Amino acid sequence: MKTNTIYKSVEGKNSVLAFYDKILSMSPVPYAEGDVMTSFGTTHFIHFGNDEKPPLVLLHGSTSNATAWIGDFLEYGTHFNCFVFDMPGEPGKSTENRLSWDNDEYSDWLNEVLNALNLTAVYMVGLSLGGFAALKFASKFNQRVHKLALISPGGLITPKASAGIKLIYLSTKGEKGIRQLMNLLMPDGFNSPELTEFFLMMGKHFIPRTEALKNLKDSELEKIHCPVYMITGDCDLYFDSRKISRRLKEKIPSSTIKIVKDGKHAMVGTSSHVIAFFLA
C-alpha cells in the first residue's frame, strides 16, 4: 500500500469531489452515502436499491469513482440491494492510499468492507480495474460471491502494446488528446457532456497510476468456483477479446462469455445482460 497524493493540487481535489456530488445529485433513485474504516483506510460507499433484495457490489474502473455507475442505478436498484464502493487510490471519496497489485491487498480490502457492512455473501460486478479486484476477491473468498460479472476486466491478459503507445501520445496533446482518448474508449456516437467534463477534469487534476496491472496467476483463477459471466468488446482499446475470452474459458471452463461486436472498453447498457445472468 502506497500513501501518496493522487491530485495535482488541493484545489483540484476539491473540484473533483464537488463534481462527484454534482453527478450523484442526478441519481434517478434515492440513495445514501456512508463510510467504513478498514486497515487500508476509509472506504466510501453509495447505497441504493431494495433492502429486501440480495446484496450487489459494483466496482468501478481506474481513474474513476462510484458515480460511474449512475446510469445503471435504476435497473440494478430494482432487483438488488446495491452497494457501490469508491476504490482506494482513485478520484472518489475513499482513502487516497493505493493498494498493491502484487499481493492480496484488494481482496483483503473488500473482505474488510463487506465485514463492516455485515454482508456475508454478494453478487459482484467489476469493470476494468474493478474486474481485477473482483477476481482477486472471488479467488481468495469464493464462498462470499454468489455470482460474478466482469466487464472489460483487468487481470486476465496483458494489455495491447498499442494501447500504451496511444495513451502516451495522447497524454501530450492536452484537451484535444483527452477527447481523442474518449473516442477510443467510449461507444461510437456516445455523447455525455458530464462524462466529457469528467475526463477533462481528470487530465487537469488527477495523477493516474502508471505501473502495469498484474495478471492473476492460473492457480488464482482456478480457485474461483462461483458462476462467472464476462462481457468484452471486440474493439477494446486495451484487451484482445479473443485472447481474454480464451484465458478465462481455459481457467474457468464453466464461465459464460459475451463478445460485443464493435464494443469498446467502456461499454454502455450492460446491466440488463448482467441482471439476466444473476437472476437465471
> What is the per-residue pLDDT for 232?
97
* Helix, coil or strand: residue 14: helix
* Helix, coil or strand: residue 35: strand
Instruction: Look at residue 185 and tell me whether its pLDDT is greater than 70.
Output: yes
Q: What's this model's pTM, rounded to 2 decimal places?
A: 0.95
Look-up of cell digits 482513485: 90
Helix, strand and coil percent figures for the chain, each rounded to 5: 40, 20, 40
pLDDT tens per residue, range 22-34: 999 999 999 999 9
C-alpha cell at 95: 482513502
> What is the per-residue pLDDT for 2?
65
pLDDT tens per residue, range 247-269: 999 999 999 999 999 999 998 88
Look-up of cell digits 493516474: 208
Q: Burial-class residue 139 by CB neighbours within 10 Å (0-12, 13-18, 19+).
A: buried
> What is the per-residue pLDDT for 198?
93
pLDDT tens per residue, range 43-71: 999 999 999 999 999 999 999 999 999 99
Q: How confident is the model at residue 167 (pLDDT cuts 50, 70, 90)?
A: confident
Q: How confident is the model at residue 233 (pLDDT cuts 50, 70, 90)?
A: very high
Q: Which helix (H) or strand (E) holds 32?
A: strand 31-38
C-alpha cell at 233: 468488446
Show the domains of the chain with their CATH numbers.
Answer: 10-279 (3.40.50.1820)
Mean pLDDT in residue range 166-192: 85
170/201 Cα distance (integer angstroms): 15
Cα 166 from chain centre:
22
> What is the per-residue pLDDT for 3?
62
Instruction: Look at residue 90 and tell me whether its pLDDT is greater than 70.
Output: yes
pLDDT tens per residue, range 212-230: 899 999 999 999 999 999 9
